[in-house]
Amino acid sequence: MPKKISHIGIAVKDLNEAVEFYKKLGLEVEATEIVESQKVKVAFIPVGDVRIELLEATSEDSTIAKFIEKRGEGIHHLALGTDNIVSKLKNIETKGIKLIDKSPRKGAHNSKIAFLHPESTQGVLLELCEETKNDS
């Protein structure tokens, strides 16, 4: 079972500007990283156990660029932290839940991530995220 909310992904046009905003709230960036596979630049901002994941597109064909074009900036996805993501995905697929990723891809922080299909999730883009051991 997922045990916690890992992070909340927020699509932004300008990562630096967004980071400055969160700094004004008294929060600090833990790490910034480019995730080539997703064509995004990411900043992680811890809030207690949960992180805010700010996402800026690095390319016009990034899903984040398309998301902002369609819907503007805002909450993009919710990530549930889980162990054994591979068996988790197999298990939920047998329950008729539609997946975007049938096998995990590499996310930021060396995590393994997979997205569920919004048709199965009441319109929320849900990510399963298996964090690397040293940062959970």
CA angle 69/75/80 to nearest 5° reads 130
CB-wise, 18 or 94, nearer to Co ion? 18
CB-wise, 59 or 94, nearer to Co ion? 59
Q: Binding of Co ion at residue 9 (CB under 5 A)?
A: yes
CB-wise, 2 or 96, nearer to Co ion? 2
**Strand extents, DSSP E, 14-81:** 31-35, 40-47, 50-57, 74-81
Q: Binding of Co ion at residue 81 (CB under 5 A)?
A: no
**Structure tokens that stand for 19 in this block:** 């980071």
Site for Co ion (CB under 5 A): how many residues? 4
Instruction: In angstroms, give the least distance from the CB of 62 to Co ion.
Output: 13
Dist. CA 118–CA 108, nearest whole Å? 22
CB-wise, 33 or 120, nearer to Co ion? 33
* Amino acid letter for position 5: I
Binding residues among 45-64 for Co ion as defined by CB under 5 A: 53
Options 79, 85, 116, 125; binder of Co ion; rule CB under 5 A: 79
Q: Binding of Co ion at residue 126 (CB under 5 A)?
A: no
User: How many C-beta atoms surround the C-beta of residue 70 within 10 A?
Assistant: 7
Which residues contact Co ion by CB under 5 A?
9, 53, 79, 127
